[in-house]
């Protein structure tokens, strides 16, 4: 007959399994809200390896583009801001990364309209979204 200690141990293991499953579900939901990998594969013709390559390229280029966006904001260069934000937006859109695309679009509009008074908040949001997107892509490409 199992002891009370055995019952407690089994219950604890079951709770840990439940916690792990909940954590995994939470990670999947978070990832889904950041990007849609399957849609990205479909957008490029169904080749997952191509998307992996684009993901690796994004991981290299996104930090450079973010630096360029910040630098152009500080220098008040609306044309360059628009260009860098547009490039980042297109790159994020490959992965159906809606929140990052929307944030980059907001920054692109600031550059297009030359209204830098809104740029600090837009940059803050863009940083948040890119900081969420990068680890999601890293997970998908195995980095």
pLDDT tens for each residue of 110-139: 999 999 998 999 999 999 999 999 999 999
- Per-residue pLDDT for 5 more than 50? yes
Q: Cβ distance 97 to 59 under 8 Å?
A: no
State how far Cα 57 lies from the chain centre. Answer: 14
Average pLDDT estimate for 88-109? 97
| Average pLDDT of span 5-17 | 66
Reported as a pLDDT band with limits 50, 70 and 90, residue 21 is low
DSSP state of 116: G
119-130 exposure pattern, b = at least 16 Cβ within 10 A, e = fewer? beebbebbeebb
**CB of 45 closer than 8 Å to CB of 29:** no
Task: Record the pTM.
Answer: 0.78
Residue length of the chain: 143
Q: Which residue has the higher pLDDT, 76 or 28?
A: 76
Predicted local confidence at residue 54, as pLDDT? 97
Per-residue confidence (pLDDT) for residue 11, from 0 to 100: 67
Predicted pLDDT at 143: 86
């Amino acid at each position: 007959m199992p002891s009370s200690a055995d019952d407690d141990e089994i219950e604890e293991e079951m709770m840990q399994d439940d916690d792990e499953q909940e954590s995994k579900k939470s990670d999947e939901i978070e990832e889904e809200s950041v990007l849609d990998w399957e849609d990205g594969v479909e957008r490029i013709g169904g080749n997952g390896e191509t998307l992996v390559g684009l993901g690796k390229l994004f991981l290299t280029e996104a930090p450079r583009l973010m630096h360029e966006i910040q630098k152009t904001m500080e220098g008040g260069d609306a044309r360059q801001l628009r260009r860098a934000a547009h490039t980042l937006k297109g790159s994020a859109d490959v992965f159906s990364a809606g929140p990052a695309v929307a944030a980059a679009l907001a920054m692109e509009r600031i550059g297009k309209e030359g209204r830098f008074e809104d740029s600090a908040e837009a940059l803050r949001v863009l940083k948040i979204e890119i900081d969420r997107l990068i680890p999601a892509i890293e997970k998908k490409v195995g980095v």
